[in-house]
Structures are given as structure tokens and as C-alpha cells.
């Protein structure tokens, strides 16, 4: 018997186009589910670390997502900013696929960024 996926069911993988992002709330915390140009899925905190702009509204290109507010780019795997004005990473969360179902665990930050305050 296989283990049940960790986290919460947030969407279907087929709902997210290549080079696009979907904003969802997990325990009232905004998360961007992003499909990169190679089809891989990533879960990041949806708020730019520079200002309170939604990253899911930005462009996805070559393993990055760009904040539409001031142009900071973030690496989808590490959450690290690749350009100013942002200089702090955004959290990257554990993401699991079960068939077409996408599960995200916002209690598991995989990149060392501060964990969200869920209380």
C-alpha cells in the first residue's frame, strides 16, 4: 500500500499551463503553483519578498518567475532572488503529485526561507 500524499490537495496539474502560475490559498497563506517551461511544478510563497506583489501574476521563464511590480526574478527551485530590488528569498514548499492531483505542504519549507506564520 502506498503512502498518502503529504499536504493539502490544492489543484490539478492539468489546470496549470506551461510557463504559467496559479495563486491558491493553503491555510489562508498565498502560494503560487508554477509550471516551468519544461513542465515541472513548483510551490512558492506567492508574495514578493521586496513588496507585497503577487508573484503568480508575473512571467514564468527559464526556471524563474518575475515579480510584475518591480521586476525581481526568483529561482523556482531555490526561491532565491536573481535580480534586485528583492534580496531575500521566498519560501519554497514541498509539493507532491498523486496522478493529476497536486498536494502542497506549507509546513515544510525546503529552501531555508522563513516559514509562514499560519496562526
pLDDT per residue of the chain (119 residues) written in tens, 0 to 9: 468 888 999 999 999 999 999 999 999 999 999 999 999 999 999 999 999 999 999 999 999 999 999 999 999 999 999 999 999 999 999 999 999 999 999 999 999 888 888 86
pLDDT at 4: 80
56 vs 35: CA distance, rounded Å: 11
Q: What is the pLDDT of residue 115?
A: 84
Q: Using alpha carbons, select from 104, 69, 70, 106 the residue that is nearest to residue 91.
A: 106
Name the phi and psi angles at 67, rounded to 5: -70, 125
CA distance 104 to 31: 9
Identify the structural domains of the chain with CATH numbers, from first to last: 8-106 (2.102.10.10)
Angstrom distance (rounded) from CA 119 to CA 109: 16
Task: Write down the pLDDT at residue 2.
Answer: 66
Residue 5: the pLDDT is 81
Q: Say how far apart CA 26 and CA 104 lie, in whole Å.
A: 8
Distance in angstroms (rounded) separating the CA atoms of residues 48 and 70: 10
CA distance 28 to 19: 25
Amino acid at each position: 500500500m502506498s503512502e498518502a500524499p503529504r499536504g493539502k490537495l490544492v489543484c490539478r496539474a492539468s489546470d496549470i499551463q506551461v510557463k504559467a502560475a496559479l495563486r491558491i490559498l493553503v491555510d489562508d497563506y498565498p502560494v503560487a503553483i508554477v509550471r516551468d517551461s519544461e513542465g515541472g511544478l513548483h510551490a512558492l510563497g506567492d508574495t514578493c519578498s521586496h513588496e507585497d506583489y503577487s508573484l503568480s501574476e508575473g512571467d514564468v521563464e527559464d526556471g524563474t518567475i518575475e515579480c510584475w511590480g518591480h521586476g525581481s526574478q526568483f529561482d523556482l527551485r531555490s526561491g532565491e532572488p536573481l535580480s534586485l530590488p528583492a534580496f531575500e528569498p521566498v519560501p519554497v514548499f514541498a509539493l507532491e503529485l498523486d496522478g493529476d492531483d497536486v498536494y502542497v505542504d506549507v509546513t515544510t519549507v525546503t529552501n531555508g526561507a522563513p516559514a509562514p506564520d499560519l496562526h
